[in-house]
Amino acid sequence: MDSVPYVFCDNVLALLDLRRCDYAEIAKHLSEPWGSLAAKYSRNVEHFAVWIVESEGFWWCSLFGCGRESVHRYPNSFADLLSMDRRFIRITDMSLSPQLNNKRNFPCSKEELTRRLLPFLALGMRQSSTIDLTATSSEKTVIACMDAVHRCYNFASLCLPFCGSKSMDFLAEQLKNNSNLKSLQLFPNWKASEDVEDILATFINEREELSGRLIQAYHQQSPLKVTIKMIKAALDSWKRSHYRKSLYLGGRIGFTHEELISMSLAPNVKFSEHVNEFAPSLKSFRWTAVEGLFVNVELNPEADVVAIRTSDRM
């Protein structure tokens, strides 16, 4: 390790999704130049959450600490932000917002936002970062943000409204190229279609780990639903992982009881059905593998909600 070029070590440490205290800890155990470089990151890394705000024809970048760690140094201006060393910038959350916060608010033009700010912020995304484009009524704002970050493939969670083919293309590109993407929430204005169902089933089937709500379960007006095709994709992926895949999938019910119980099973998987004696309307279906690992499907027909999750042991 001692013969590794300094620049290579610096580039590796810049890519890590670590807090200052984590860098400080690993610095104690690394040989040089890794140790001194890790110590440098422990002193300089900053974690920011960012709101993008469009208000009365003006654009703003609203910057604040994310709660993961306190911010040592806030930039004093838009130019100061862009001049910060991108190796030390960590963007934990980038969201559209209808209002400014009470911390640092920097005005910028739309061109500065899309051509300079958003690409700069995309470089600060890490494996646990979130992009949320839902909290705005302006479709143009959402499309501008999608265009600016469409080649950013290094974040874990995406919240996305529907803006026609632009959203479909953006979603398909992320599901194809972003191997870090594990959590997906689609805003209630998404329309149910075979194309959307196919995209979501592929997403479920290919991800090693899927967490968070795939479809917003709490919004009863959403036309999107969890379908048999999605459940089959989840079970197929669970089987390929030797029944150890971590999975949570929730949304409105888009299948019948008969479709669920008639699904074909692997030879070493058993199916069982349970009714909650205290709430008879709640139903639970379980696929159990020989190792005791299982997938649980919990139905609440009255609320029109289904939750699908895996468990490590009985």
Last residue of a domain, one of 181, 213, 244: 181
> What local confidence, expressed as pLDDT, does residue 133 receive?
93
Residue 229 within any structural domain of the chain? no
- Quick one: 139 and 93 in the same domain? yes
pTM of the model: 0.85
Same domain? 65 vs 34: no
| pLDDT for residue 84 | 94
The verdict on 29 and 150 lying in the same domain is no
Domain termination site, one of 138, 154, 181: 181
277 found inside a domain: no
Here the tokens at position 29 are 């155990």
pLDDT of residue 73: 86
Residues 33 and 67 in one domain: no
User: Does residue 1 belong to any structural domain of this protein?
Assistant: yes
**Do 67 and 121 have their domain in common?**
yes
Range of the domain at 130: 45-181
Rounded CA-CA distance 130/126 in Å is 9
pLDDT number for residue 210: 72
Q: Does one domain contain both 53 and 170?
A: yes
Distance of CA 186 to the CA centre of its chain: 11
| Helices and strands in the chain, H and E counts | 11, 13
**Tally of domains within the chain:** 2
Element (H, E) at 94: strand 89-97
Task: From residue 96, give the alpha-carbon distance in Å to each of 48, 49, 138, 148.
Answer: 15, 11, 10, 13
Residues of the chain scoring pLDDT < 70 = 1-2, 67-68, 102-103, 137, 211-221, 312-314
Backbone angles phi, psi at 52, to 5 degrees: -105, 120
pLDDT for the residue 205: 85
Q: Is residue 293 part of a domain?
A: no
Same-domain pairing of 58 and 160:
yes
**Per-residue DSSP letters for 188-236?**
TTPPP-HHHHHHHHHHHHH-SEE-S-SB-TT-TT-S--B-HHHHHHHHH
pLDDT per position as a tens digit, 102-143:
668 888 888 898 889 999 999 999 988 999 998 776 888 899
Q: Is residue 203 part of a domain?
A: no
The answer to whether residues 186 and 216 touch, using CB atoms and an 8 Å cutoff, is: yes
d(CA 53, CA 103): 13
Coil, strand or helix at 84:
coil
Task: Identify whether 113 is part of a domain.
Answer: yes
Q: Same structural domain for residues 38 and 71?
A: no
- Burial per residue of 290-304, b for 16 or more beta-carbon CB atoms within 10 angstroms, e otherwise: eeebbbbbbbbeeee
Residues 116 and 11 in one domain: no
- Partnered with residue 96 across adjacent β-strands are 52
Tens-digit pLDDT profile for residues 270-289: 899 888 788 888 889 999 98
Domain boundary among 121, 153, 181: 181
Cβ partners under 8 Å of residue 90, min gap 6: 17, 45, 46, 47, 48, 124, 126, 129
- Establish if 194 belongs to a structural domain: no
Of 126, 120, 172, 119, the C-alpha closest to 147 is: 119
Tokens coding 38: 């890790």
Sheet holding 125-132, edge to edge: 104-108, 58-65, 46-55, 89-97, 125-132, 157-160, 183-186
pLDDT given for residue 220 in this prediction: 63
**Six-digit token string for 68:** 């993961």
Report residue 13 as tokens.
């440490």
pLDDT at 40: 96
**Separation of alpha carbons 125 and 47, rounded Å:** 10
Q: Are residues 27 and 71 in the same domain?
A: no
Does 50 share its domain with 153? yes
Q: Which helix (H) or strand (E) holds 157?
A: strand 157-160
Counting every residue written for the chain, the total comes to: 314
Residue with tokens 């690409």: 119
Residues 76 and 91 in one domain: yes
Residue 209 maps to a domain? no
State the residue for tokens 């007006």.
Answer: 221
